[in-house]
Chain A
Amino acid sequence: MNLEMIQSFTPAHFLFLALAGIAAATAVGVVAFNDPVRSALCLVGNFFTLAFLYFTLNAELLGITQVVVYTGAIMVLFLFVLMLLNLGGVKMMKEKFDVKRVLGFGFGALLLYVIGAQVILPLNTITTAKAANDFGGPEMIGRALFTTYVWPFEVASILLLIGVVGSIMLAKRKV
């Protein structure tokens, strides 16, 4: 990374780098922390920064839905359960050398290579968001949901309804 490359960076670049850095660091934190509450908090941070990454891609509605659904609702329930259980850190015994670990790292590196080659390289020269300004706005998404994708959308809503009824059945066998 030479100086000219840094000079060619736009503010959007720096914003992306900062957000992506936080997102990656918190993602590592999710698996690296021993304390489950810390892991869950890292996941909260990850979901939150992911929402900002969506904003930079002009997908406002997706980003805000990410905050409402994941950060605001699902992760609160996660934390709720973790706090009630009050697990504390994991106590592990020392493991012997295992060949599976080496293999795991190998396959991980391979996956990283594949993703790098297929996804990151073609995006290398792109400096601004490709999507139009109103691409992720509520109007566009609403129009798409209720015209092109109306059947999958309705099927998904029925699926959710089944989930609601099922959870009530499980929780309240006898009323």
Chain B
Amino acid sequence: MDWLRQVFWENEVGNALLRVLLFVLPILTLVPGLIWWERRLLSWMQDRIGPNRVGPFGLLQPIADGVKLFFKEDITPKAVDGLIYFIAPAVALFPAFALGATLPWGPNLKLTPIADVNIGVLYIMAISSLGVYGVVLAGYASNNKYSLLGGLRASAQLISYELAMGMALASIVLATGSLRLTDMVKAQEGPLWGAVPQVQNWFIFTPFGFIAALIFAICVIAETNRAPFDLPEAENELIAGYHTEYSSMKFAVFFMGEYAAMFIFSGVFATVFLGGWHAVPINWSALGMEQVAHWNGLLAPLFFLGKCALGITFFIWLRATLPRLRYDQLMSLGWKSLLPMGVFNFIVVATWILTTSLYGIGGGIATAVGAFAVIIFFTTRIAKSANANVEFLEKRTITMESGKGDPKPQEVNA
């Protein structure tokens, strides 16, 4: 035991290795379970049975699938761009796993996160923006119009939704005052709304945090190419999109990347909005129950995994419920709804922090009420003038010059 402690605890390199293994191994082992859970839950929601033949409850089905995929013939079409076709699955897998390097899954700073850097949130943004490469390269290298279209859709989608995601995270960064994810968890241990010390201040309970969580959740679904945002692989339009030409393990690697990304994005959501590794939003120490607080810390990985599972279940639920968006709907949702909402949320948080720090809580509330009044005033004014404009426009008529056969001048509402 002593040498284990020497190698993995005191030695810096060994400790880093331990951190990486403790993060990556659970994900690698849980991804097949995830696929099973998705298929069973989806079947249940769609009133089917789903895979239930291999092992108890069909639990061994993913392993059977994995073996099948592994032994399938790996077909490389003739017209592909060889090198890029070969590296694209690896490029798709890399960001999915690298994403979680700053996620803390427990209170022990010696074990987690892999790197407790003070740019944690920015790191997540940066790595998730690399996710587009695998898809785009696969689409291009396949030399197939459906694949290329899938790749182009994916890149447009990812670039559009990244901005809104950044704005959602930025408002939380403002509220925390730090880019470090461990600091975010610590900030959420504080009293709820700064007033109730027994309850933890998870960001999803605060008004701005709730809006940010909503935006972030939608953007995450778009970033991971999941239904209802799975346009890059829309099967009725693009066969299978960017991985049409991939078979065998290369296809499996794409699949694994998608599920790992889902997993880790759920972890990011849990860390930023759902209080990280805490089980329930109750401050046990404030209630004088030190024993429970101690056990809460010890069982932290389980609670974190539970929150990830909740997030993934939410993903699957959405897939079973919502129809796929049209491409223009996708773009207008991202640019015209989520991004303005995110920016507005950001401004509100900044104003609230500034006014409360200058004039106290009263000043903040006064500013909020004042701003609300100003906004109502202006929107009613604008609406009124817009209405007047419409009335003015409705009076215009257009008469046809040449056609004497058309007796009726048409009313045009411009």
Where the two chains meet, the residues of A that have a C-beta atom closer than 8 Å to any C-beta of B are: 37-38, 41, 44, 60-61, 64-65, 67-68, 71-73, 76-77, 79-80, 83-84, 137-139
**How far does the Cβ of A79 sit from chain B's closest Cβ, in whole Å?**
6
Given contacts A76-B158, A83-B136, 19 further A-B contacts (CB under 8 A): A37-B81, A37-B140, A38-B84, A41-B137, A67-B130, A68-B126, A72-B125, A72-B129, A76-B129, A76-B132, A76-B159, A77-B159, A79-B140, A79-B155, A80-B136, A80-B152, A80-B156, A137-B119, A138-B179
Contact indicator B118/A138 (Cβ below 8 Å): yes
Expressed in whole angstroms, the Cα–Cα distance for A64 and B101 within the complex equals 14
Per-position 1/0 for B145-170, Cβ under 8 A of A: 00010011001101100100000000
CB-based closest 7 A-B pairs: A72-B129, A67-B126, A68-B126, A64-B122, A83-B140, A60-B119, A64-B119
Which residues of chain A have C-beta atoms less than 8 A from B136's C-beta? 76, 79-80, 83
Which residues of chain B have C-beta atoms less than 8 A from A83's C-beta? 136, 139-140, 148, 151-152
Which residues of chain B have C-beta atoms less than 8 A from A76's C-beta? 129, 132-133, 136, 155, 158-159
Contact indicator B155/A80 (Cβ below 8 Å): yes
Expressed in whole angstroms, the Cα–Cα distance for A159 and B394 within the complex equals 41
Which residues of chain B have C-beta atoms less than 8 A from A73's C-beta? 129, 159, 162
Task: Report the number of A-B residue pairs with Cβ-Cβ less than 8 Å.
Answer: 67
Expressed in whole angstroms, the Cα–Cα distance for A79 and B133 within the complex equals 9
Expressed in whole angstroms, the Cα–Cα distance for A147 and B411 within the complex equals 60
Contact indicator B122/A68 (Cβ below 8 Å): yes
20 contacts between A and B (CB under 8 A): A37-B81, A41-B84, A60-B118, A60-B119, A61-B119, A61-B122, A65-B122, A67-B130, A68-B125, A72-B162, A73-B159, A76-B129, A77-B159, A79-B140, A79-B155, A80-B136, A83-B148, A83-B152, A138-B118, A138-B179
Contact indicator A44/B133 (Cβ below 8 Å): yes
Expressed in whole angstroms, the Cα–Cα distance for A84 and B153 within the complex equals 12
Name the CB-closest residue of A to B127. Answer: A67
Expressed in whole angstroms, the Cα–Cα distance for A84 and B148 within the complex equals 9
**How far does the Cβ of B353 sit from chain A's closest Cβ, in whole Å?**
15
Expressed in whole angstroms, the Cα–Cα distance for A41 and B125 within the complex equals 20
Which residues of chain B have C-beta atoms less than 8 A from A65's C-beta? 122
Name the CB-closest residue of B to A136. Answer: B119
